[in-house]
Amino acid sequence: MLESRTAITVRYAETDMMGIVYHGNYLPWFEVGRTTLLKECGLPYRELEAQGYHLPVIELGTKFFKPALYDDVVTVITRLKERPVLRIHLEYEVRRGDELLVTGFTTHAFINKKGEPVRPPADFATKMRAAFSSKA
């Protein structure tokens, strides 16, 4: 399993009139966690795009337990439990200290610039294999 942690300070613009983070604003935080995890594996998303690959979200889910508030420092924990083959499935936790606020997941498919499903590039598979081997 691969894991990445990203600290985010809640901005005022991310909150609603109740003073809590608007539910849709957790998804960009998931994206930050996802791109950080890939970068830590030596796979910056920018390089994947430059090679003609994209990873659109094909499924997502969230479960809310407690709200994040303005100026909270939260940690987005991103986990990749299985080495991706055709799809990549990531799980997320948003925590304020030890408090669990939100859980979620996203599933992504590899596509080319024409929007056609494709296998991931060879270097993606190689770097993922290496990342999982180093965590074993």
49 has a pLDDT exceeding 80? yes
Digit-coded pLDDT (tens) for 74-102: 999 999 999 998 899 999 999 999 999 99
State the Cα torsion 62-22-54-93 to the nearest 10°. -40
Q: Which of 48, 14, 20 is nearest to 127 (CA)?
A: 48
Return the pLDDT at 136: 63
* Residue 65 CA from chain centroid, whole number: 19
Q: Which residues are annotated as catalytic?
A: 16
Neighbours of 29 (CB within 10 A): 23
Total number of domains in the chain: 1
Average pLDDT rounded to a whole number, residues 27-39: 98
| Domain residue limits at 19 | 2-135
Helix (H, G, I), strand (E, B) or coil at 30: helix
User: What CATH number is attached to the domain comprising 78?
Assistant: 3.10.129.10
State if pTM tops 0.85: yes
